[in-house]
Amino acid sequence: MEKVSYKDAGVDIDAGNDFVEAIKSDIKSTFDDNVIGGIGSFAGAYALPSGYKEPVILSATDGVGTKLKLAIESKKLDTVGIDLVAMCVNDLICNFGTPMFFLDYYATGKLVPSEAKSVVSGIAKGCKRAECALIGGETAEMPGMYSENDFDLAGFAVGIAERSQMDRVSLVKPGQILIALPSSGIHSNGYSLVRKLFFERLEMSLDDEFDGKRLIDTLLEPTRIYVPEFKRCKDKIVALAHITGGGIVENLPRVLPDDTNAVVSIEKIKQLPIFEFISQYVEQEEMYRTFNMGVGMVWIVESENVDTILEVTDGYVIGEVVAGEGSVTLV
């Protein structure tokens, strides 16, 4: 019987080594002074920043969802890495955590180094936008688990916060103002519905024109990262909510006390053209429970800080906090 190799089984060790070499410069470009060691060790090391009285380590993990399916089908792989970072670090800042470092997990049926490099280059770009270091990751080639053209992504962000600043809910009170920070697009939620509508019901193609560019470019617009704005305005934010799956109506209550409501004016929300289009085929209630509707993050702030925040961000007022029972009212 002829001897069998790992490559015969579908795993190419040499391709994996070539991939690691190809991404080293992208990874190193994200390093800051707290990164200890280089690339290739068994674990990434990061020195805790100084200046914290009671430092608490926070972590968040997420994926990209079925948006990844569109990236694979279109071979446009350079932006989903940004989405991966965004979905994690945007959650961290909602607990007043400043992102420190990030790790990724890339699993595929057949490793194609050039494609994997595009993905990791996007992750590195996302880390730079989030002002955190990419200190490690894992690439797994698993034939039989995934088809040759398929891959999946998971991301892991770690941040640091002052313990006394983490409980934001207790600070929310009636009379405070809701500021919306615009989304860059659909972000990374609702893509099962998007794919069902555009490519099954409407039978559109990836290259169809939408709002002056290819539809696929609109659908793969990467998730906005809000870390720089958070750092700039941290001392003026009461609480903040990342608007992901469930939309405003399910995410904003996560930062509301049981005796308050958030009243949001639908007319004040600056919807993007993609949501206006989808709204022709999906009920309004379903839209607001599935998509961000143009609002990537909501900040709750004191009324006296509104003007200052609007001057240094692209945010705008969409409502206020009132007495209630911990829910969102759309008016």
Entry pTM: 0.93
> How far apart, in whole angstroms, are the C-alpha atoms of residue 252 and residue 263?
10
Does the pLDDT at position 67 exceed 90? yes
Q: What is the pLDDT at residue 2?
A: 73
Q: Are 23 and 117 in contact (CB under 8 A)?
A: yes
Pairing relationship of beta strands 295-301 and 328-330 according to DSSP bridges: unpaired
- Average pLDDT over every residue of 247-264: 95
Q: What is the pLDDT at residue 103?
A: 96
- Average pLDDT over every residue of 236-248: 95
Q: What percent of the chain lies above the pLDDT cut of 70?
A: 96
Q: Which tokens sit at 285?
A: 């209630």
Q: What is the pLDDT at residue 263?
A: 97
- Average pLDDT over every residue of 156-169: 95
pLDDT digits (tens, 9 = 90+) for 298-318: 999 999 999 999 999 999 999
Does the pLDDT at position 322 exceed 80? yes
Does the pLDDT at position 16 exceed 80? no
Q: Are 145 and 178 in contact (CB under 8 A)?
A: no
Q: Are 237 and 229 in contact (CB under 8 A)?
A: no
- Average pLDDT over every residue of 35-51: 85
Q: What is the pLDDT at residue 4?
A: 60
Label residue 10 exposed, middle or buried (CB < 10 Å: 0-12, 13-18, 19+): middle
Q: Are 324 and 260 in contact (CB under 8 A)?
A: yes
**CA distances (Å), origin 296, targets 64, 134, 140, 243:** 15, 24, 32, 5
First-residue to last-residue Cα distance in the chain: 74
Q: What is the pLDDT at residue 9?
A: 61
Q: What is the pLDDT at residue 133?
A: 96
Encode burial over 305-326: b for 16+ CB neighbours within 10 A, e otherwise: bbeebeeebebbbbbbbeebeb
Q: What is the pLDDT at residue 6?
A: 66
State the Cα angle at 132 between 127 and 134, rounded to 5°.
65
Strands of the sheet containing 98-108, edge to edge, are 55-62, 151-162, 98-108, 133-141
- Average pLDDT over every residue of 278-284: 95
Residue 139: strand, helix, or coil: strand
> How far apart, in whole angstroms, are the C-alpha atoms of residue 243 and residue 27?
29
Q: What is the pLDDT at residue 27?
A: 85
- Average pLDDT over every residue of 138-146: 88
State the CB neighbour count (10 A cutoff) for residue 235.
Answer: 7
- Average pLDDT over every residue of 116-133: 95
Binned at pLDDT 50, 70 and 90, residue 25 comes out as: confident
Q: Which domains does the chain have, with CATH numbers?
A: 13-165 (3.30.1330.10), 169-330 (3.90.650.10)
Half-sphere exposure of 269 (CA within 13 A, CB side): 23
Q: What is the pLDDT at residue 8?
A: 55
- Average pLDDT over every residue of 6-14: 66
